[in-house]
């Protein structure tokens, strides 16, 4: 067994144009003052970290890490959720996802894909320079518009989609493997990797690539009505990153899993601040500890009711009280004793 590290916080949802959320120093001081021990760092904003420089400069990475360490914080993982998403985008989503692309690439979808892939390679190299062993990202999606099989899917469509997704990712995965970093895909709706079956499809399509791993976030499974506890039993060996985010599913006679076209607060499935939703985090932390998952517990704030400031403040104690110090001794050790083979035979009457 292994003790989960934490508490940590994902900075992406807190970044703003107002202090203290408009600079790396401001964010680090804010997180440290709240009591966090680690931060998951988004990489899209060059004012936070510039992957184009970091991938080739150990000095830049040492200074970046040193600044974060100076606030009593550690880097848990780098995040390329947006770049990973842009590795594979279905044409139905091209225009909307263009909002995340650099200005000079907007409307240039093939060039945008090439940029995203290049960013992923640089993230793998940067992670090694920072001494990190895991990386948080999305898989992107070529198949999500076909998640419901109507109209009927042509034979071979799903297989071809996963083959193409794997072909785009395999060179990236090789870079991460060469740098000793696990690629942890957040299993998430609107990604081609959104549950257990799709994770296995992707893993198989990559030839069971050793770099393929999981960022476990139970909130997404509540919305899918998937057993998030048994998921750990199935895939614990792949879980190398962990988001502490809550959610709830309240179906009615009018809405269910898909949620219709409602705003977040009016959906049957909606995200909540940790402790306010339906996730059994006591069992989640127990399972991850029992299986020896070497992860940071990283708060991801997404809530339709509670403010991010309150969610972040409460998240420190929530995570801290759920972390289990893994025992190094058995509770019944006092009753044991040294034995020899003859004694064992006597006990069995042999």
Distance between CA 127 and CA 135 in Å, rounded?
7
Cα-Cα-Cα-Cα torsion 198, 200, 203, 207, nearest 10 degrees, comes to: -130
Domain range enclosing 22: 5-347
| pTM recorded for the entire structure | 0.95
Closest CA to 235 of 202, 200, 210: 200
Number of domains in the chain: 1
What φ, ψ does residue 41 adopt, rounded to 5°? -105, 120
Per-residue confidence in pLDDT tens, the chain, 350 aa: 999 999 999 999 999 999 999 999 999 999 999 999 999 999 999 999 999 999 999 999 999 999 999 999 999 999 999 999 999 999 999 999 999 999 999 999 999 999 999 999 999 999 999 999 999 999 999 999 999 999 999 999 999 999 999 999 999 999 999 999 999 999 999 999 999 999 999 999 999 999 999 999 999 999 999 999 999 999 999 999 999 999 999 999 999 987 779 999 999 999 999 999 999 999 999 999 999 999 999 999 999 999 999 999 999 999 999 999 998 877 666 656 677 899 899 999 99
CATH of the domain at 181: 3.20.20.150
What is the distance between the alpha carbons of residues 160 and 166, in angstroms, rounded to a whole number?
10
Give me the count of residues in the chain: 350
Is cis: bond before 316, omega within 30 of 0? no
User: 153: which DSSP letter?
Assistant: P
């Amino acid at each position: 067994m292994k003790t989960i590290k934490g508490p940590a916080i994902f900075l992406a949802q807190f970044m703003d144009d107002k202090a203290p959320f408009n600079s790396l120093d401001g964010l680090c001081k804010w997180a440290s003052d709240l009591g966090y021990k680690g931060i998951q760092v988004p990489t899209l904003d060059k004012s936070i970290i510039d992957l184009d420089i970091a991938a080739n400069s150990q000095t830049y990475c040492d200074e970046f890490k040193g600044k974060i360490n100076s606030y009593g914080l550690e880097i848990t993982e780098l995040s390329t959720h947006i770049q990973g998403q842009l590795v594979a985008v279905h044409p139905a989503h091209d225009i909307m996802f263009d909002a995340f692309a650099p200005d000079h690439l907007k409307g240039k979808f093939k060039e945008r894909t090439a940029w995203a892939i290049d960013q992923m390679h640089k993230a793998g190299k940067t992670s090694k320079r920072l001494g990190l062993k895991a990386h948080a990202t999305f898989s992107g999606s070529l198949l999500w518009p076909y998640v419901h099989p109507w109209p009927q899917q042509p034979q071979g469509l799903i297989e071809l989609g996963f083959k193409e997704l794997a072909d785009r990712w395999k060179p990236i995965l090789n870079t991460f493997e060469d740098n000793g970093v696990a690629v942890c895909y957040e299993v998430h709706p609107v990604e081609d990797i959104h549950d257990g079956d799709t994770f296995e499809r992707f893993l198989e399509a990559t030839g069971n690539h050793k770099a393929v791993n999981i960022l476990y976030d139970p909130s997404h499974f509540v919305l899918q009505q998937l057993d998030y506890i048994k998921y750990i039993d199935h895939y614990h060996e792949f879980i190398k990153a962990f988001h502490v985010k809550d959610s709830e599913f309240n179906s009615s006679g009018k809405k269910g899993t898909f949620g219709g076209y409602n705003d977040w607060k009016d959906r049957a499935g909606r995200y909540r601040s940790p402790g306010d939703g339906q996730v059994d985090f006591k069992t989640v932390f127990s399972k991850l500890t029992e299986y020896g998952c070497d992860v940071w517990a990283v708060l991801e704030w997404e809530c339709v009711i509670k403010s991010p400031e309150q969610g972040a403040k409460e998240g420190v104690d929530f995570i801290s009280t759920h972390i289990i110090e893994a025992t190094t001794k058995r509770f019944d050790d006092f009753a044991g004793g040294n034995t020899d083979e003859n004694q064992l035979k006597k006990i069995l009457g042999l």
